[in-house]
Structures are given as C-alpha cells and as structure tokens.
Chains A and B, each alone.
Chain A
Amino acid sequence: MSADLDRPAERPAGTEILSGTGAVARAVRDAGVDVVSAYPITPQTEIVESIAEYVETGELDASFSRVESEHSALSAVMGAAQAGSRTFTATASQGLLYMSEMVWWTAGARLPVVMAIANRALGPPWNIWGSHTDALSQRDAGWSQVFAASVQEAYDLTLAAYRIAENEDVMLPAMVNLDGFTLAHTMQPLELVSETAAHEYLGEISIPHELDVENPRGYGAMTGGEDFWRFRRRMMDAMAAVPDATRGALDDLADVTGREYDLVYTYRTDDADVVIVGLGTMAREAEVAADLLREEDGVDAGVVRPILYTPFPEDEFAAAVGDATPVVLDRSTSFGRGGILTRDVVMALDRPVASVIAGIGGQSVDYEDMARIVRQAEPGETAWFGGEIQ
C-alpha cells in the first residue's frame, strides 16, 4: 500500500449507482472490516474483487487473503474472528457446499463472521443462475440468514448483519443473501451511510471468547455427552435471540438512514385475500403481480416477504399473512418434501398453502407469470411453474 494512496479521513454519505455485489463490497468497506478472505465463484466474484481493490488502494485498512479454496476462506476468517477481528467472506453455490464443514464449525465456535451469498443453483447439471438452495441447504447450521431484494437492502442488511452477529445475546455468524445475477449484477441507485456513521452504528467489535495469551484457554476441545448438549442448547437460545437482535439492528440503522425495515416486509396485505410469499427479488417482482391481479382480475392480492429467514420469524409472518391464502413461490427444492420455504410457511401458519416451485436455476418468472401462478395454484398442492402451471 503506497503512502500517496492514503484513504480520505472521512467518506461522506451520498448516492451512487451500484450493483448488488458492489453494494455488499461498499458495506464491507464502510464497516471497516479487518480481515477478509475469499475464493472466487460466480456470481459472487465481484464482491471480493471490489474489496481486493479497496484494500490494495488503501480505501480499506484490512488484510485480504487469497486462499486456495472456499473451505480455507471460511476457516481463515474463522481463525481471524477467534483472534478478535471483524471479518468477511462471500461465496455461492458449490463454494458454499465446499465450505459447509466450516459453516458448522464457525457457528459452533460462536464466531460472528459475516458472509454474503450470491444465491445460485447447485449442480449437476451445471447451472450458474439464481436459486436459493445453496443458502437454504445450510439453514440448520446455526447462522442467521437475511435475504435482500434490492441493491439498497444488500447494503443495509450487510451493515446490519454485523450488529446481529455481534449482539452479545447472539454471537453467531450471519449470512446475507442476494439473488445471483438478478440482484448481484443489477445496477440500482444506492444511498450510502457515511463512514463515520457506519462506524458509530457498528461500534468496536467485542468477542467475549477472543483469544488471550494471558489467559490461555482451549476452544473447540473434545466434549463428552454430559457437556455437548449444553453447547447446542446455548446455540438454540442464541438463535432465539436473533429476531430481537435483528429488530434492534434495523431500528438503529433506521435512525441513521431513515430507511425502516421489519423482519417481514409486506405489500398491500391489509385487505388481501391472497398473498404471494417469496424471498428476495422474486417477492419484489411479485408486488407488480399483486397490482396486476387487483387491476385485471379484481383479486385482492398482496405480498409477504420475510427479510429475516433464519430463524424463521413465525409470529411476524403469521400476522403478516393474516387470513389470506398464501401462494409460496419457492426457489428451492427439498426432495420428497417440496419447497424448502414452503415447509417453514406451513410450520408458521399450520394450514395448507399453495406451493409453486418457480424460478430455480434462473428460470424466468415475470410478474405476468406470477399472476398466472396465483390464478392456477391450489392450496395443499405443490406445483412446478413450467410443469403443472404454464
């Protein structure tokens, strides 16, 4: 890093046009993350390319390690977090599966790592396009997960993810999901938080079990059956604290930005008879479908979109859906069980829902398609867009 490339003392707030990947990278820069390690994979790559540039030009005073695999990327940031640093990595698809062992290890080690996932299908067959199966396959590993639906949300939720993960009642890693290409590579206006405001929002990282050579302890050592469950029980309690931590993180961010988020985002649900349920950008597109259904079909349609996915905010979700009939657009598959999101929805509502597997592997589903899906979907049934529903 050359001296003439010293970063400015203050980066002010402002508006820029950025992609979803650019927004995540900018949030990592503005958060002042200490240690980044990553391995490239489409469609995540632009995130870490941007961060590498910030580090090399001195815009971000961080250590960036170019590792030889995703498994090493997550183990490196895990080691750095264990030493007390604020960390970041990003991946997608096969890369996430390759690091899955460390996904579990990081959570079990109770380290507040933040990782962005540019959601993408799993092979075979090879497919680089959007699907949620990568992140949802890790649902039970002990990470909180949020899903962004715009460039602005990708930025805001990345900042909030640090607050969620580092919350003293949580101390669990966090995933920020953004749809591959659809959001990752789409340019939209982005309102930035000033560097000072971002730093004040996040505060100093404090990990209670940070390594200390003055007080040596072993972390992750062998445990027997009399102790292991206690660690898992504490993780369960920590995960139960995530909704409150997320609400607090989003409320405090709203004080800085004026942008308010709830755990579950709703669109025209007050008088809705039918609600389209989805994660990320599909549920944004569904807002147009709801308008169309209201105008052309006289159907009172709305949209319910969980921003926090893990743990699933069941109460907020059930309240948002109310008595409306849900049509779940699922960009994931649980073979033998239908869509993964659908199972969470059924658990929260305890009644049959219409489930449609739509938009996996980059399958195009526009708002007119969604309106057709709503017209044809049957509660209690799982249908495929392109199959039972044309």
Chain B
Amino acid sequence: MSWTGEDTGQQINDGHPACSGCGMILGVRHLLEEAGEDSTLVIPASCASVVQGVYPYTAFDVPVVNTAFAASASTASGLRQAYEQQDEDTNVIVVAGDGGSTDIGLASLSGALDRDDDILYVLYDNEAYSNTGFQKSGRTPGGAQTTTTPTGRIGRQKDIDEIVSAHDPAYMATASPGFVPGLRRKAEKGLAADGISFLHLHAPCPPGWRIDTDETVEVARTAVSSALWVLFERERGGEYTLNNPSVSAFRNPDPVAEYVEGQGRFDTATDADVEALEEQAAQNIEYFGQFTDREVSPR
C-alpha cells in the first residue's frame, strides 16, 4: 500500500474541520488507510469527535460510534462482542485523546486490556484537553502552560505506557507523525494482533502548543531526537523493542532546550522545569536504552 499521493482509499474525506497542522488527524489518516473500509471507529468526547464533522455530515468513510468520555474502551468491547456473535471480522478501533484515555477513561481502558478484547485502542496524545481549549491533563508535561496551569504544570507526565504494559496487551507501540512508515507498520501490526492492542500516537497540537501549523512534523521529530518521546513496541510477554529513530536519538540526543524553545506553551518554563525535562529524557535513555543492542549515550 502506498501513502504517497496515489489513490489509497483513505477513510477521511477532504474538508474535515480539524485544525491546520493537527498531529492527530495526520496520524489517524494513515492509521485508517491501513485499516481499510471494513472498520468501525469508536470516538469519545475529544478533538476527534469534532473533527468527524457536525451532523448531518461526517468526515469518515467508516461507521463512527460516538460514546461518552469515559466509555470508549467498553463501547468498543461491546461492538467486538457483537461482531464475534455475528461472525464478523470488522476492525474495531478506538480513537481517543489523552484525557479520555489516561484520566477519565483509564478504568474502562484497563478493563478492556484486562479482558483482552480484540480491539485496537489508539491514544492520540496532544498532552492536554485540547478539545475544550487546552486544559491540563495527566499527560501534560511539567512546565507546560495550559489554561488551568497558567504558570506551567507542576510535576510530570503520567506514564500511561507503563500502566498499559503492566496489563501485558497482545501488542503495544508508540508512534509519531514525524515517522509515518513506522506509524503505519505499527497500525498494521496492532490490527493484526490477536487480542487487544494499544497504539500511543504523539499528536502535536499547533493551537495548544503554540507552534506554527507547518511545524507539526518537525516538532514531533524533535520530541524523538531529544529522547522525550521514545519510539518502541512490545508484543505480549516480550520486552520493549526500541525503534531505529530512537536508537539514533539515544546515540546522539538533541538538547531538550531545542524542543522546549520551539513551543509557546513552554514560555513560562523555568530553568528548573527544563532541567526536569532533561532529567526525564535522561531517564528515558537509561531505561529504554537497555532494550537495544546498540550503544547509547548517557546524558
């Protein structure tokens, strides 16, 4: 399958109302091209529920079930149950934000992981409640301004990947719109996995991160090159596999300051905030570095 401009049968129509440069819609477009038309989306309250369009229009060429904020994983579980009873093989895909996944929807996500329902859960992570105007979520980085942390978030991001990993899903991976081939490969693996799979998609948000709309891919890549966003995957019972972009980044990491300075949301970040993010990147290198044979640099 190609993603270079030929007729790919993409499942998102032109004219959708996503913000220019939206990292989520870029990632979800590729995801849905992998999934194809025999798919059903479950979308809770989130940017995705707006991006699909206002009734009577829809931007998606697959059925969409909208559900309550905390209910996306369980709604998807019910769909899967029904399809199994009906001997249907349709993909059931959740597209939910970081608030809906790591905060209000964490219990239903945990339940679906525990039951190992055969769904693909995509968490697109714009690191705040972007749909409601950019308030702090569990995934907001330390030092980042949101409308409810006007002087910068205190603390650090909730580690949803370790939480999910502790449930030992059939397949889990992180992905980035800065590295599309890997994103597509992981979507394909997640869809094919026998059991629940979890795809954690980094989703730069130009209005909330206060970056230009043409900087999404570059900022996403800088997150990886500075080791703040780590690209890895893991199959059930196995260890993390560190992916090449992060292996390269770990050998020669870019300064965290480059990532921070490019974004307006860090305008009030103090030196201590930046040091804390540097520490987080260093911990990433130390922890995930053990899952590659290749040499990595200590910070």
Chain A contact residues, CB within 8 Å of chain B: 34-35, 37, 61-63, 65-69, 71-73, 75-85, 87, 101-102, 105, 211-213, 216-224, 227
In the complex with contacts A68-B107, A69-B108, A79-B65 CB distance below 8 A: yes
The one of A61, A71, A75, A221 in contact with B78, judged by C-beta atoms closer than 8 angstroms, is A75
For chain B, residues 152 to 178, give those with C-beta under 8 angstroms from any C-beta of chain A. none
Question: Which residues from B are CB-within-8-Å of A76?
Answer: 74-75, 77-78, 81
Q: Check A69 against B78 for contact (C-beta < 8 Å).
A: no
Cα separation A220 to B125 with both chains bound (whole Å) = 23
The one of A62, A65, A211, A221 in contact with B66, judged by C-beta atoms closer than 8 angstroms, is A221
Cα separation A371 to B2 with both chains bound (whole Å) = 80
For chain B, residues 34 to 88, give those with C-beta under 8 angstroms from any C-beta of chain A. 37-40, 42, 49-50, 52-56, 58, 60-68, 70-71, 73-79, 81-86, 88
Pairs A-B, 9 closest by C-beta atoms: A79-B78, A220-B66, A72-B74, A68-B111, A76-B78, A83-B82, A75-B71, A218-B58, A80-B82
Question: Which residues from A are CB-within-8-Å of B38?
Answer: 213
30 CB < 8 A contacts A-B = A35-B81, A67-B77, A67-B108, A67-B111, A67-B115, A69-B108, A71-B108, A72-B71, A75-B75, A76-B77, A79-B77, A79-B78, A80-B82, A82-B79, A83-B40, A83-B82, A83-B83, A101-B68, A101-B71, A105-B68, A211-B65, A213-B62, A213-B63, A218-B58, A219-B65, A220-B66, A221-B55, A222-B49, A222-B54, A223-B55
Among residues of B, the one whose C-beta sits closest to the C-beta of A37 is B78
Question: Which residues from A are CB-within-8-Å of B84?
Answer: 63
In the complex with contacts A34-B82, A216-B60, A65-B115 CB distance below 8 A: yes
Question: Which residues from B are CB-within-8-Å of A67?
Answer: 74, 77, 108, 111, 115
When A and B form their complex, what is the total count of cross-chain residue pairs whose Cβ atoms lie within 8 Å? 168
Question: Which residues from A are CB-within-8-Å of B107?
Answer: 68-69, 71-72
Please give the distance in Å from B58's CB to the nearest CB on chain A: 4
Question: Which residues from A are CB-within-8-Å of B62?
Answer: 213, 216
The one of A69, A87, A102 in contact with B68, judged by C-beta atoms closer than 8 angstroms, is A102
Question: Which residues from B are CB-within-8-Å of A213?
Answer: 37-40, 62-63, 90
In the complex with contacts A79-B74, A221-B55, A216-B61 CB distance below 8 A: yes
Cα separation A356 to B82 with both chains bound (whole Å) = 45
User: CB of B110 within 8 A of chain A?
Assistant: yes
Question: Which residues from B are CB-within-8-Å of A77?
Answer: 78
The one of A63, A69, A220 in contact with B67, judged by C-beta atoms closer than 8 angstroms, is A220
Please give the distance in Å from B48's CB to the nearest CB on chain A: 11
Bits for B103-131, please: 1 = Cβ < 8 Å to A, else 0.
Answer: 00001101100110100000000000000
Q: Check B86 against A83 for contact (C-beta < 8 Å).
A: yes
Question: Which residues from B are CB-within-8-Å of A211?
Answer: 40, 63, 65, 79
Cα separation A217 to B40 with both chains bound (whole Å) = 10
Chain B contact residues, CB within 8 Å of chain A: 37-40, 42, 49-50, 52-56, 58, 60-68, 70-71, 73-79, 81-86, 88, 90, 107-108, 110-111, 114-115, 117
Question: Which residues from A are CB-within-8-Å of B67?
Answer: 75, 78-79, 105, 220
Question: Which residues from A are CB-within-8-Å of B73?
Answer: 72
Cα separation A85 to B62 with both chains bound (whole Å) = 19
Cα separation A76 to B55 with both chains bound (whole Å) = 24
Question: Which residues from B are CB-within-8-Å of A80?
Answer: 78-79, 81-82, 85
Q: Check B81 against A218 for contact (C-beta < 8 Å).
A: no
Q: Check A222 against B55 for contact (C-beta < 8 Å).
A: yes
In the complex with contacts A63-B85, A79-B82, A221-B54 CB distance below 8 A: yes
In the complex with contacts A221-B53, A221-B54, A75-B68 CB distance below 8 A: yes
Among residues of A, the one whose C-beta sits closest to the C-beta of B49 is A222
Question: Which residues from B are CB-within-8-Å of A68?
Answer: 107-108, 110-111, 114
Cα separation A69 to B112 with both chains bound (whole Å) = 11
Question: Which residues from A are CB-within-8-Å of B68?
Answer: 75, 101-102, 105
Question: Which residues from A are CB-within-8-Å of B77?
Answer: 37, 65, 67, 72, 76, 79
Cα separation A68 to B110 with both chains bound (whole Å) = 8
Task: Supply 8 further A-B pairs (C-beta < 8 A) apart from A72-B111, A105-B68, A105-B71.
Answer: A62-B85, A65-B77, A66-B115, A79-B81, A83-B78, A83-B86, A216-B61, A223-B55
The one of A62, A79, A105 in contact with B79, judged by C-beta atoms closer than 8 angstroms, is A79
Question: Which residues from B are CB-within-8-Å of A63?
Answer: 81-82, 84-85
In the complex with contacts A102-B68, A218-B64, A78-B55 CB distance below 8 A: no
Question: Which residues from B are CB-within-8-Å of A224?
Answer: 54-55
Cα separation A331 to B262 with both chains bound (whole Å) = 63
Question: Which residues from B are CB-within-8-Å of A75?
Answer: 67-68, 71, 74-75, 78, 108
Q: Check A85 against B85 for contact (C-beta < 8 Å).
A: yes
Question: Which residues from B are CB-within-8-Å of A65?
Answer: 77-78, 81, 115, 117
Please give the distance in Å from B145's CB to the nearest CB on chain A: 28
Question: Which residues from A are CB-within-8-Å of B50?
Answer: 222
Question: Which residues from B are CB-within-8-Å of A61?
Answer: 85
Cα separation A35 to B77 with both chains bound (whole Å) = 11
Among residues of B, the one whose C-beta sits closest to the C-beta of A79 is B78
Cα separation A67 to B109 with both chains bound (whole Å) = 11
The one of B40, B53, B78 in contact with A78, judged by C-beta atoms closer than 8 angstroms, is B78
Cα separation A286 to B108 with both chains bound (whole Å) = 44
